[in-house]
Structure 1
Amino acid sequence: MPFVTTPAASYDHLVVGGGAAGCVLAARLSEDPDATVLLVESGPSHSGVREILEAAHWDAMIGGPYDHGYASAPTEHVLGRAIAMPRGRVLGGSSSTNAMLWYRGARADYDAWAASGATGWGYDDLLPFFRRSETRPGGDPAYRGLDGPVRVGPLTRVHPIAHALIDAAGERGIPVIDDANAASNEGAVYADYNAIEGADGSFERWSTARAYLEPALARPNLHVLVDSPVHDVVLEGTTATGIRHEVDNALVTTRASRVILSAGALDTPRLLQRSGIGDPARLREAGIHPRHDLPGVGENFQDHPLILGVNFRARHDLGAVLGNGGGAMVNWRSSHAETGPDLHTVIAHGSRGDDTLHDRYDLTGNRVFALVPGLYGSRSVGWVRSRSADPKVPAEFQPNYLADPTDLAAMVEALDAVQDLVATSAYADLAEGPITPPVSMTSREDRVRFVRENIGSFFHCAGTARIGTDEMAVVDPSLAVRGLSGLWVADASVMPVIPTANTQAPTVAIAERAADLLRTA
């Protein structure tokens, strides 16, 4: 078994972070029997964890033992609230804890990457890696993979509230499409999930730990170390030579020819900063000795905000939850959209909202469902900044939700639009009416406040170590950290601009391409 309690002294490849990207990289790099690979994960193994495998109630894991428990720094734009930003702390990372939506976005998203300096990262460059990563029965092979590791598909048993969302979108003039991972992602569609359904109605998650790592575990050249928080990257001059990390509560150094950071858009910049890589002035303020001037580390933080709290009362008991409680989604354009759909919603069986909302309104019982609108075209940008060299000191996570006034205007439109969807004839036999916001909340001022009070995260953190060639870029188009040797980044942090989609599938594609780049580096 490749699980180790004590790592070897050195490896060819050392992957930091056993999440959505890290499991892909460890598996792909260990395909070369002559290359030794160590995967280091701060959390435990995913194996045998019922909450991860039986994923119908995935949201119950938020704030639990497999979540890092991060939260955003409060701002006036969200009325001083600290917003939960869950990240998986387990093998598979957030692919072991998320809602399992599998989307890649639009051609224009990736062509914009290439145009901004991420040469070789346009849509046509990434399409082979999207296809290589998945098995999607019935998909168009020009766009979809037929024999990849991740098992993907829509639900075969779809709840009436999800069927009604598709019909309601059609009534409102929104296109109904077969596959949002094909030629266009604009419209209403039955959602793809990286999960499998059992004949008994079960719904099993297909994380990257399950899809990529488990089939590779028999390889003697692959070692996996769990429960090992990484403190920093070891630098000798301008060369990364290994990491310092905890093994059985002792701090040890493990060396490697290549160190690849795949700790995610929140923890990868923290690792770089704690290693002295970043903006020198900010590092000194945090008590960190600067080693390499790279001011873009932790900047360009992007996420998709959503509105939790758009709840409706059904006319009858909704029965059993099917799949993950969703089944359908809609992508459409606000009046502020530029090149494609900038708004998004999913259906949810059960109420959505924080404790304050549940204290104020009766959202109990099995007659409640929600629509969860979000902004895929967010203009607000924030940062991730370490406050100390001590890894136990929380960083400042600032997504800056609604800092751009256009984002706020678009989110108010999204609130109105999803209420209009449930007002269509498609929901006439299903929906009794809205609960929150109540029908009395009609003024723009009240609706703006409702949006600010109920903004949350879609958990799509990205952009904090972006690809590029300018001074604020962190990695070059080969994913090597600029100005250093022996150090690469491969996870959602390298995205120059967040795509109009859930970030899981793009992160896996990035890792797939990173493995090819590293093999030829």
Structure 2
Amino acid sequence: MIFNTSYPLTDFTSLADSYDYIILGGGSAGCVLANRLSAADPHTSVLVIERGDVSDNWLTRIPLFSSDFHSDGSRSQVWRSAPQKLLNNRAIEMVRGNSLGGSSRINAMLYTRGVPGEYNAWAAAGRRGWGYDDLLPYFIKSETDLDCQYLGNKSTYHGDSGMKTLNLKSTTFKEMLGPWFNRSHLRNFWEHTRQIVQATSALGLPYVEDSNSPLEPPHGCTKLHYNIDSKGRRSSTFSAFLPPELVRERQSRLHICTRTVVLRIGIIGETAASLSAEGVWIQKKDQSSLNKPRFIQAKREVILATGPIGSPQILMLSGIGPADHLGEHGIEVIKDMPGVGSNLYSFLKQDHPTVSLQFKVPMWDSLTQIELRPWVILKHLFLYLFFGTGIFLAPVLELAIFLQSRLLDETYRLGPFKREDLDASLPENRPDIEIMPISWADTKYKSGGLSFFTVVLKPSSTGTVRLVSKNPFDSPQADPHWLSTESDCETIRRGVRFALRLKDQIVAQGYPIKNINVPDSNSDEDIDRFARLECRSTYHYASSCRMAPEDDPQSPGVVDDRLRVHGIQNLRIADSSIFPDIVGAHLAAATVAVAEKCADMILQDYKQPL
């Protein structure tokens, strides 16, 4: 099991000339789409084109070492953003998945849906069918929550391995649930976890046992769920939705082709009103002289699922985007769509910027021990292999703290609030700050480390994704344009001050924690200076192909409420790029729900029951 096992791929030269559905991207969303569309009808053919490889071996399934934080980089693409003028011209590290399963193969495995108000805000903005009650069945359909036995009545809002009927005002849902596993850790790995729970309680914040329940308040210190199965392995969308045995069973109608680049989508139509996606031009990643492009026809639809960086890139390479930018690169304009970018040459993009405060803690209470004392790995390898315990299962963070900053008083405690402030279904109660206690700090400090990542959940700064050339093998340039609004800067200040207040409370409880990299003071100037030096990405990219009308006053949209690209028939997008606004949570669960709903809508359109 330590070495790669065979996976039932279809060779580039063996691909058929046409398929009913062509899915571009085998990442978090693409795996879900491939599973659902190929399951609907044994006569329906599906092709998945993935730029990366399979990259499946024993190490890629270990929760700790499979994350990009500790991995060898074989399943990720790492590059640098455009220099950020407001961050001392630093180029920020950007990371995205680069294998089947995409970012679900390298992320922190956090399963967080976000509060109901996130999706009710989408519905309030006019996105029909995208409120919380509309999406809840798709959250449930995709998952098996291994904690259901402990949740009692709250398990109504979670999937398990049996049948469940869910009656909502919008639908009655009954389905066999759910290939994608998640669970919490029943015992804490770190002593500082207990200290943080006590400290947040002392500051007035409630402890939330199940952050994915709509019955809980929208703020508090919450226990986290992870995409880990019952055997202690990472549960990615690859292992959940496209395991080798399923692909072998469906190999007559489901083909997966890896290490293949999408050159462009073939668009036909004599008039602007008759444009349609006919298929895709693809080429093997190996650009040898014998490697010729191929055109594969889509008899029904092309579905883009290459993520918030890749999806806008492929649209622009296909001639769909702002005409002047496409013209700069010599690309024929098929559809001048200003909505493929709120700025002149770009796509709207959002991310969660974060500022990291670092503290010294005991070595035994931090993940830095495995870097500074590598011999402990042997001990924990033994514990993992023979007992399913130990640090190999340890999460990078066990808790998250979600804040409505407007409710913090001048001492950064939870101040007076009204009863309606606890209603998680109201858009105005969406949290705007997250504190992530990361059990790690820079090893240059030669000590155990704990970091408080202070995250802006509702950024008003928006950035861009731009083509650098018309060569599909070139990565696009991302410019997050972080902290470009005073609102985001003020949110960072409030978040940093709360994090420092939290640390002081932990000290007061007697836990040995000391500053090693924090602002010089609580002043606006010192916090701003610190943010310019320390701001980084949480790799939560979204909203580069927004679901909104083309003439939306907030920012022009790219897809309609059924995820169809405006003005182009037979072309949809189903990944986090379609979010009308970024969700105030970690994005994997919401991305999978979008893919589930997209598959359902496609099957509805072709009158095939799930």
TM-score normalised by length of structure 2:
0.79
| Contact 1:52 1:58 (8 Å CA) reproduced | no
Q: How far is the alpha carbon of 1:126 from its aligned partner?
A: 0.5
CA distance in 2: counterparts of 1:339 and 1:286, whole angstroms: 44
Answering whether residue 504 of structure 2 is matched by residue 414 of structure 1, we say: no
484, 509, 513: which one aligns with 2:593: 509
Task: List aligned pairs for 1:55-66, cutoff 5 A.
Answer: 55-56=64-65, 58-60=67-69, 64-66=73-75
Name the Cα RMSD after superposition. 2.1
| Contact 1:46 1:96 (8 Å CA) reproduced | no
CA distance in 2: counterparts of 1:286 and 1:407, whole angstroms: 33
CA distance in 1: counterparts of 2:533 and 2:561, whole angstroms: 39
Task: List aligned pairs for 1:420-439, cutoff 5 A.
Answer: 420-425=501-506, 428-437=509-518
174, 189, 193: which one aligns with 2:222: 189
Report the equivalent of 2:235: 206
Q: How far is the alpha carbon of 1:92 from its aligned partner?
A: 0.4
Report the equivalent of 1:144: 158
* Superimposed CA distance per residue, residues 99-152 of structure 1 (whole angstroms, 9 cap, x where no aligned partner): 111111122211221222321111111011011111112242332222311111
Answering whether residue 364 of structure 2 is matched by residue 317 of structure 1, we say: yes
Q: How far is the alpha carbon of 1:469 from its aligned partner?
A: 2.5
531, 535, 547: which one aligns with 1:467: 547
288, 297, 306: which one aligns with 1:255: 297
Q: How far is the alpha carbon of 1:459 from its aligned partner?
A: 1.0
Answering whether residue 348 of structure 2 is matched by residue 300 of structure 1, we say: yes
Task: Mark the structure with the bigger radius of gyration.
Answer: 2
Q: How far is the alpha carbon of 1:71 from its aligned partner?
A: 2.7
Report the equivalent of 1:333: 404
What amino acid maps onto 1:332 in structure 2? L
25, 38, 53: which one aligns with 1:30: 38
Answering whether residue 111 of structure 2 is matched by residue 102 of structure 1, we say: yes
Q: How far is the alpha carbon of 1:405 from its aligned partner?
A: 1.0
Distance 1:336 1:13, change over 3 A: farther
Answering whether residue 248 of structure 2 is matched by residue 240 of structure 1, we say: no
| Contact 2:560 2:566 (8 Å CA) reproduced | yes
Task: List aligned pairs for 1:67-106, cutoff 5 A.
Answer: 67-106=76-115
Q: How far is the alpha carbon of 1:427 from its aligned partner?
A: 7.0
* Superimposed CA distance per residue, residues 322-360 of structure 1 (whole angstroms, 9 cap, x where no aligned partner): 5222111110122399533111022222215xxxxx7xx
Answering whether residue 173 of structure 2 is matched by residue 173 of structure 1, we say: no
Report the equivalent of 1:484: 568
| Contact 2:405 2:432 (8 Å CA) reproduced | yes
- Mark the runs of 5 or more structure 2 residues left unpaired by the alignment: 1-6, 162-177, 270-274, 342-346, 368-390, 409-427, 606-610
Q: How far is the alpha carbon of 1:385 from its aligned partner?
A: 1.8
Which stretch shifts more, 445-454 or 10-19? 445-454
Report the equivalent of 1:345: 435
Q: How far is the alpha carbon of 1:441 from its aligned partner?
A: 3.9
Report the equivalent of 1:355: none
* Superimposed CA distance per residue, residues 372-426 of structure 1 (whole angstroms, 9 cap, x where no aligned partner): 1211111111221213211233322122211111111111211121121122147
| Contact 2:26 2:101 (8 Å CA) reproduced | yes
Report the equivalent of 1:155: 185
Report the equivalent of 1:363: 445
CA distance in 2: counterparts of 1:293 and 1:67, whole angstroms: 32
CA distance in 2: counterparts of 1:224 and 1:61, whole angstroms: 28
What amino acid maps onto 2:596 in structure 1? E
370, 394, 403: which one aligns with 2:475: 394
Distance 1:196 1:419, change over 3 A: farther
CA distance in 1: counterparts of 2:491 and 2:559, whole angstroms: 32
CA distance in 2: counterparts of 1:56 and 1:371, whole angstroms: 21
TM-score normalised by length of structure 1:
0.92
- Mark the runs of 5 or more structure 1 residues left unpaired by the alignment: 353-357
Answering whether residue 260 of structure 2 is matched by residue 228 of structure 1, we say: yes
CA distance in 1: counterparts of 2:135 and 2:470, whole angstroms: 36
What amino acid maps onto 1:446 in structure 2? D
Q: How far is the alpha carbon of 1:316 from its aligned partner?
A: 5.5
CA distance in 2: counterparts of 1:44 and 1:56, whole angstroms: 18
Q: What secondary structure is seen at the aligned counterpart in 1 of 2:77?
A: coil
CA distance in 2: counterparts of 1:474 and 1:467, whole angstroms: 6
| Contact 1:422 1:431 (8 Å CA) reproduced | no
CA distance in 2: counterparts of 1:58 and 1:348, whole angstroms: 14
CA distance in 2: counterparts of 1:48 and 1:124, whole angstroms: 38
Q: How far is the alpha carbon of 1:437 from its aligned partner?
A: 1.1
